[in-house]
Structure 1
C-alpha cells in the first residue's frame, strides 16, 4: 500500500467507458436461465476457471485431466499438480461462504488452496520473497514484518471504498500481488479474491471463467502488473482486467445466443440429448456413434441419426468415414 493507506490509481475515460459497456452487457445476460438453472454450464465454467488459474502457475494437467480429478477419477500426473486441483476445487466450491472483507477468510482460503503443498499454508510468510522472470528478480514483495498491517489496511480500504466494484476488485487484486503476502499461492488467491469481490456484487461472476481469458492473455497480464509496479499505481492493471471482463461477457452472450438458437426448434427429449452430448464433448475431444449410443441409451441407428442431425444443424462436425467417423464441436 502507498501513502495515507490509499492505493493510488486514476479513473480514465477509457476505464469509465469500459465500466459502462460492462454494465450494458450485464443487462443483456439472462442470469436466471444460464447460471441459476443450468448446473452443467456452471460446473463446466468452474472447471475451466480452476484449470486456467492453475495453468498460469505452470500446473501441467490438461483440461480433461482436471475434469477427471474433480470427478474422482485416477489420473497419471505429478501428485503436486493433482493436489493443486483438488485444493482449488474445494475453495471455489466454498466461495459463497467467504466474506470478501475478512482477513481471517483470506487466510482460510490460502490454507485450503495450499494444503499439503507448503509449510506456511494459511499464514503470512515469515521470510522475504520475490517474483522472478527466469533468474531475474522483477519484484520484491513487502517485508514480512509489514505484511499484517499492509493487508489489514488493504481490507479496510476495500470495506470503506465507494468505488465501483469493478474498480475495487482490480485494485485489490493488484495491491495484493504487490504485497505478495504468502510463501506461495499469491496468484491463485489474488484471482480467487477478484472473483469473490465481483460475485458479492453480481452472483453470476462466481461462475464466469474470467481466468480462462487471463490465461489466454497471460503475457499481457504480467505486463500490466509490471507496468503498474513501474508507474507506482494500478491504473494499467485496472484497464487490463476490465478489458478481460468485457471480453468474457461478450463471449458469454454469444454462446448463449448460439445455445438458444440450437434448442429453439428441438423437443424436450432432444434438448436433454444435446445437453448430454455437449457435456461429454466439454471433457473429451470427440464422440463416436458407439459412445453416443451408450450415453443416450438408444439404438445404433437412432444415435447415428441424432449425430448427423447435429451436423446438419451446424452444431457438430463429422470427421472420418464410416465406422471410423468421429464428431467434434463446431
Structure 2
C-alpha cells in the first residue's frame, strides 16, 4: 500500500459529476460492442490525437491527421506529422500497459516523443519551469526528485481504493505538477488518464475527451494553476470530471441507433454520402447547397469531418487540405456502404 496521499478535498460537485458520468457510461455501454465499429473507433481516436496535439500547438486539422494516418502526402511541418504518427502508435499500444508501471510509462513516452527529443523515454535531467507567455506559472520539482515522486504516484494509482474517475483525474494533475519529462508532459498526462479510465471501463479508451479540453483550453490551464496555488488537486479534478461528462454526453447523442445504416454512421454523414452518390467531386459550397445548409462550421463538424475520419469520403488533393480548389468524393468504403444500404 502506497504511503503517498495526494491532497484532495472531495466536494458535492464531484460526487454529482461521478453519478452523472456513471449513468452516461451505462447508456454508452448499452449500445454494445458490436455497434462500436472499427471506423467509429478510429474516428474517435483521430479526434483524440488531433485535439491533444492541438493543445500543444500542433496546427494539423482532423482532415490532415486522417490523411497522415492513411499514409497520404500532407503539406505540413515534419515535426507535426511526426507527432501525429507517434501519438497514434502510443494510443494503439495503450492496451498493453499497466497504469502503475514505470517501465510502461517510459515506453509510452519513448513512443510519443520518438524523433522529437533526445531524451525520449527518459526522465528529465534538468530543472524546468512552465510559462504562459512570459509569466512563470509553475516551477516543477528538481530532477533529483522526479524518479521518487513518479514511483510514489504510480504506486498510489495502483493501490488506491478511491473511485477510478477520481484516481485518473488526480493522477493527471499530480503528473503535470511533477513534470517528469523534458517535453511531452501534457500529452502524456492525458494519455495516462485515458489508460487508467480504460482499465475501469473499456469504452472510455475511445472517448475523445481531449476535444472538450481543447475547446476549453484556457479553463484547463486555469484549473492547473488554481490547484497549484491551493496546493491540492480539487479544482483540476472538478474541471476534468466536468469535461468527461461533456464528452460522454456528446458521444451518446452522436451514437447512432440500431436501425441506422450498417456502418453506424450518423444521419448527417448518411445524407452527405447520398449527396455524393452520383459520383464526381464537389467543393464544400456545392455540397452545402445540395444539403440545404448555410452554416459552414456546422457542415464541417457534423458532416464532413466525421465522414473523412471514418474513411467514407476522401479529398481530391489530400496534400493541400485547405486549398480553395479542394473537392470531396466518395471513398471506396463509402461506395460499399451505399451499395449495402441500397
State the 1:80 CA deviation: 0.2
Q: Which position in structure 2 is the counterpart of 1:105?
A: 104
Alignment of 1:283-322 (within 5 A): 289=275, 291-294=276-279, 317-318=291-292
Residue deviations 1:213-241 (CA, integer Å, cap 9, x gap): 01011110000000000000000101001
Residue deviations 1:41-79 (CA, integer Å, cap 9, x gap): 111000000000000000011111011001110101000
More displaced stretch, 96-105 vs 51-60: 96-105
Alignment of 1:195-214 (within 5 A): 195-214=194-213
Q: Which position in structure 1 is the counterpart of 2:317?
A: none
2:130 is paired with a residue of what secondary structure? Answer: strand
> Residue 40 of structure 1 contacts residue 279 of structure 1 at CA under 8 Å; is this kept in 2?
no
- Provide the C-alpha distance between the structure 2 equivalents of 1:207 and 1:166, rounded to a whole number of angstroms: 16
1:292 is paired with a residue of what secondary structure? Answer: coil
Residue deviations 1:151-199 (CA, integer Å, cap 9, x gap): 0010111111110000000000000000000000000000000000000
> Residue 29 of structure 2 contacts residue 203 of structure 2 at CA under 8 Å; is this kept in 1?
no
Larger Rg: 1
Q: Could you say which structure has the greater relative contact order, defined with CA pairs below 8 angstroms and 6 or more residues apart?
A: 2
Q: Which position in structure 1 is the counterpart of 2:66?
A: 67
- Provide the C-alpha distance between the structure 2 equivalents of 1:109 and 1:277, rounded to a whole number of angstroms: 37
- Provide the C-alpha distance between the structure 2 equivalents of 1:88 and 1:126, rounded to a whole number of angstroms: 23
> Residue 214 of structure 1 contacts residue 221 of structure 1 at CA under 8 Å; is this kept in 2?
yes
> Residue 277 of structure 1 contacts residue 292 of structure 1 at CA under 8 Å; is this kept in 2?
no
More displaced stretch, 105-114 vs 16-25: 16-25
State the 1:5 CA deviation: 2.8
Alignment of 1:265-276 (within 5 A): 271-272=261-262, 275=265
> Residue 31 of structure 1 contacts residue 204 of structure 1 at CA under 8 Å; is this kept in 2?
no
Q: Which position in structure 1 is the counterpart of 2:313?
A: none
Rate the CA distance shift 1:27–1:319 in 2: closer, same or farther, 3 A: closer
Rate the CA distance shift 1:276–1:28 in 2: closer, same or farther, 3 A: closer
State the 1:143 CA deviation: 0.3
State the 1:37 CA deviation: 3.9
Q: Which position in structure 2 is the counterpart of 1:143?
A: 142
> Residue 45 of structure 1 contacts residue 207 of structure 1 at CA under 8 Å; is this kept in 2?
yes
Structure with the bigger percentage of helix: 1
The alignment's C-alpha RMSD in Å is 3.0
- Provide the C-alpha distance between the structure 2 equivalents of 1:148 and 1:138, rounded to a whole number of angstroms: 23
Q: Runs ≥4 in structure 1, deviation > 6 angstroms?
A: 276-281
State the 1:142 CA deviation: 1.1
Rate the CA distance shift 1:40–1:135 in 2: closer, same or farther, 3 A: same
- Provide the C-alpha distance between the structure 2 equivalents of 1:275 and 1:244, rounded to a whole number of angstroms: 24
> Residue 123 of structure 2 contacts residue 182 of structure 2 at CA under 8 Å; is this kept in 1?
yes
Rate the CA distance shift 1:27–1:273 in 2: closer, same or farther, 3 A: closer
Alignment of 1:85-124 (within 5 A): 85-124=84-123
Q: Please, what TM-score do these two structures have when normalized by structure 2? A: 0.78
- Provide the C-alpha distance between the structure 1 equivalents of 2:106 and 2:263, rounded to a whole number of angstroms: 43
Q: Please, what TM-score do these two structures have when normalized by structure 1? A: 0.81
- Provide the C-alpha distance between the structure 2 equivalents of 1:157 and 1:12, rounded to a whole number of angstroms: 21
- Contiguous gaps of at least 5 residues in structure 1: 301-307, 321-326
Alignment of 1:208-223 (within 5 A): 208-223=207-222
- Provide the C-alpha distance between the structure 2 equivalents of 1:294 and 1:144, rounded to a whole number of angstroms: 59
